[in-house]
Amino acid sequence: MSERRAYLHKGVGETVGVVTLDGRPERLIVQWPSDDVLDAEGVRGVARVKSIERAFAAAFVALPGGADVLLPLKPDMPKLVQGGLVEIEIRTASRADKAAVARFIAEADGEPRVLETAPSVEDQLRHHVKAGSPTTGERALEAVEAAEAEILDTVFPLPGGGDIAVEATRALVSIDVDLGGREGDAKRAARQANMAALGVAARVMRLKGLGGLVVFDLVGRGHDGQALTTAARVAFAPDNPGVAIGALSKFGALEMAVPRRAKPVMERLVGPGGAWTPAYAARRLARALEREGRADPGGRLVARCAPAVLEAFAALDAGLADRLGRRFTVTAVSGWSNDRLEVSAS
């Protein structure tokens, strides 16, 4: 039987939750003070209709102080008018080049307003892990950094041998199954690898915050389509409602659609080129300074980082000083990459 556990880390400029599934990270939930509180799954409110795009069967609406949100138009909805008011719920947060998506609840009146904010990290952890309080302290931070490291990975081992590569493109998420060094009968080994790949991929996609069209390039031939479809339904059940599984193709590919909800965590950690974002690196630097400060309570702390990281760290400086006292200095070194951080005590 699967076991889920929750971890909660409250650091300088971040509140981070981790859900593990049988000891491996399954979800990373991140909130920063700079986040747009209206750009999150679960936000409900009365929004103004800004424009109607009938060619795309959608409207753009906005909550007070919020960015434009896409509202799909459906045949059973009343006819909307520009400037009118609708009650909506955010179903999918925005991502790099896409607006947030809402669902229609009802027509509304009065003034645009927020009716319900997004659940906190603690609330989301309680939703995913029903029993017990989340683990905090150093173990929670270790769980956070283990989850972050796995999010940045591409290749993931399968139990019993072999691996999968999970790669997100603009169009879809591709999952390539590799048999690796699995031993025994080739057909049996391929079947076991494909079945295991569904469970590992489902966990990894939840961890990375990936969704949309998903294509599994399965290993071997002569697949049992019914067994694979059943296993896929079980593996992706936590992502319902909205999971759709297609028939196995003659090329040995299994296609499915998984709903997108939260903003992909990867966008916080790395930029388009794969380098750490300055905001993420600054938080890693604050964690390192806090660790060194606890290890040497009376020492002076010296840190060095890239110029962009130092600029992002300015927003965290006062919060770290509240925890450690003003006994640290941070300087920038030209030419350093964002992931190069050095901290020492003297």
Residue 333: is its pLDDT beyond 90? yes
The residue-averaged pLDDT of 265-277 equals 91
| Domain boundaries 44-116, corresponding CATH code | 2.40.50.140
Note the pLDDT of residue 140: 97
Query: Residue written as tokens 């999952």?
Result: 175
Grade residue 286 by pLDDT with cuts at 50, 70 and 90: very high
Rounded Cα distance between 313 and 13, Å, is 10
The helix, strand and coil proportions of the chain, stated in percent and rounded to the nearest 5, come to: 30, 35, 40
pLDDT digits (tens, 9 = 90+) for 19-45: 999 999 999 999 999 999 999 999 999
pLDDT value of position 187? 86
Instruction: Calculate ∠ Cα 165-167-172, nearest 5°.
Output: 130
- Model confidence at 60: pLDDT above 90: yes
pLDDT value at residue 203: 97
DSSP states along 204-233 = HHHHHT--EEEEEE-SSSS--HHHHHHHHH
pTM of the prediction?
Answer: 0.90
Q: In the sheet where 14-21 sits, what is the strand order?
A: 4-11, 14-21, 24-31
Which pLDDT tens digit goes with each residue over 207-232? 999 999 999 999 988 888 899 999 99
d(CA 8, CA 135) in angstroms, rounded, equals 6
At 141, list the tokens: 């931070």
At residue 95, the pLDDT reads 86
- Work out the mean pLDDT of the chain and round it to a whole number: 94
pLDDT at 304 over 70: yes
DSSP string, 6-57: EEEEEETTEEEEEEEETTEEEEEEEE-TTS-TTSSTT-EEEEEEEEEEGGGT
In CATH, the number for domain 152-258 is 3.40.630
Copy the structure tokens of residue 176. 């390539």
Question: Band of the pLDDT at 50, cuts 50, 70, 90?
Answer: very high
- Tell me, what's the pLDDT at 298? 87
Backbone angles phi, psi at 13, to 5 degrees: 75, 20
Cβ distance 266 to 209 under 8 Å? yes
306 and 279 Cβ atoms separated by less than 8 Å: no
User: What are the backbone dihedrals phi and psi of residue 163, each rounded to the nearest 5 degrees, phi first?
Assistant: -160, 175
Q: What is the pLDDT of residue 1?
A: 62
Tokens of residue 167, six digits: 């790669």
Segments making up each domain of the chain, as ranges: 4-36+121-141, 44-116, 152-258, 271-345
pLDDT reported for residue 159: 92
- Predicted confidence at residue 130, as pLDDT, reads 87
Question: How far separated are the first and last CA of the chain, in Å rounded?
Answer: 50
The pLDDT value recorded for residue 53 is: 92
The CA distance from 45 to 236, in Å, is 30
